[in-house]
Amino acid sequence: MTPQKPRILTGDTPTGRLHLGHWVGSVENRVALQDEYDCSFLIANMHAFTTRADKPGEIRESTIEIVKDWLACGIDPERSNIVLQSEIPAIVELSWYFAMLIPFNRVMRNPTLKTEIDAKGLGDHYSFGFPLYAVGQCADILVFRPELVPVGEDQVAHIEMTREVARKFNQVYCNVDPQTEDADSVSAGGLFPIPVAKVGRIARLPGTDGVHKMSKSLGNAIYLTDTPKQVKKKMGQIFTGRQTMDEPGDITNSLFQYVRAFIKDESRVKELEQAYSKGDNIGDGHIKVEVAAAISELLAPIQERRARFEGKGGDDLIVDVIREGIRKSNPVAEETLELAKQAMKLDFAPRTISFS
């Protein structure tokens, strides 16, 4: 079961559909790295319950929609592993052990959790499970013992915590010297490689509110399924604060982050940046229309591939893909759990696990 290729693990929470932030932050890299790496892509459906425990139907629907989005983007289930978190028991078991390797206050200081609590308006009434998801995410990742984790910038703090947990496990249970370089952790006897975050071409795409990152939970997203008309309308909502066409504009604003993310022709991007920063008779509305057209051009082939799963029987095809993923990923996850339990002197009774 030793992998031929280095491994990748990353994923999405089924709290909606995929948007442009997912594409530029992570999915584009996933599609590109499928041949070079042994890839596992995880649907974090248990984590969706941390903020939506009362909406199981929505979580199930979103799980199916996200897998449709993945396949539409070019993720190929023949080459990559689709992992449904709730059917990988080893993840839950490892989460429990990992929770003992990380101080409670360290989890609560995680800046991504703090931002999410603010942005999602969770106040002080979030569930106990909400911060626990950050520990669970360490297990999602480490159970596949990956070297690389393609994510957007907001996830880097989580990957940092994962790295800390991996180092700690290797030191406490595998006798790895704390001075060991991360890259040498496995050759020094550690069970877990110290995974590295690979941030996408655009680290953090702002939402159409121009304030928060584009996020499926915040209603500020352009979805991969949006029609050209919807894209144009949403682009039109981006606020820049600029009043007239001859007012010099700020090319670090949200609109220009979209210009650089989606207009492919570099010389056109330069031209727009120069004209805008000089206030050279160029209106925001004109630029928004141009960006909207570039986005719709990017989305057209994705939507064309997605159409296959949208008709009758489409959901059944996706459920088959999910089931096959469960069958393929559990042996890998169980192998890691068995090795972890051996290292922790918990290897009392070997077990096997089966799925129909």
**CB-CB neighbours of 183 under 10 Å:** 11
Helix (H) or strand (E) holding 39: strand 38-43
Stretch that binds ligand ATP, among 31-39, 171-179, 215-223, 331-339 (CB under 6 A): 215-223
Q: Is 281 helix (H, G, I), strand (E, B) or coil?
A: coil
- The single residue among 55, 198, 204, 305 that binds ligand ATP, judged by CB under 6 A, is 204
Residue 220 binds ligand ATP (CB under 6 A): no
Cβ nearer to ligand ATP, comparing 120 with 327: 120
Nearest approach in angstroms of CB 87 to ligand ATP is: 18
The identity of residue 249, as a single letter, is G
Q: Give the Cα separation of 306 and 74 in Å (integer).
A: 10
- The single residue among 45, 80, 215, 329 that binds ligand ATP, judged by CB under 6 A, is 215
Cβ nearer to ligand ATP, comparing 82 with 176: 82
Q: Are 36 and 5 in contact (CB under 8 A)?
A: yes
Cβ nearer to ligand ATP, comparing 215 with 253: 215
Cα-based distances in Å from 34 to 8, 11, 84, 135, 186: 9, 14, 18, 27, 23
Q: Are 106 and 161 in contact (CB under 8 A)?
A: yes
Q: Give the Cα separation of 145 and 166 in Å (integer).
A: 10
- The single residue among 7, 8, 17, 26 that binds ligand ATP, judged by CB under 6 A, is 26
The strand pairing partners of 149, in sequence order, are 197
Residue 29 binds ligand ATP (CB under 6 A): no
Cβ nearer to ligand ATP, comparing 25 with 190: 25
Residues within window 144-203 making contact with ligand ATP, judged by CB under 6 A: 151-152, 154-155
Q: Scan for tokens 């289930």, then name that residue.
A: 77
Residue 330 binds ligand ATP (CB under 6 A): no
- The single residue among 115, 171, 217, 240 that binds ligand ATP, judged by CB under 6 A, is 217
Nearest approach in angstroms of CB 37 to ligand ATP is: 16
- Nearest CA to 74 out of 34, 39, 106, 40 is that of 34
User: Interface with ligand ATP by CB under 6 A: which residues?
Assistant: 10, 12-13, 15, 21-22, 24-26, 151-152, 154-155, 204-205, 213-217
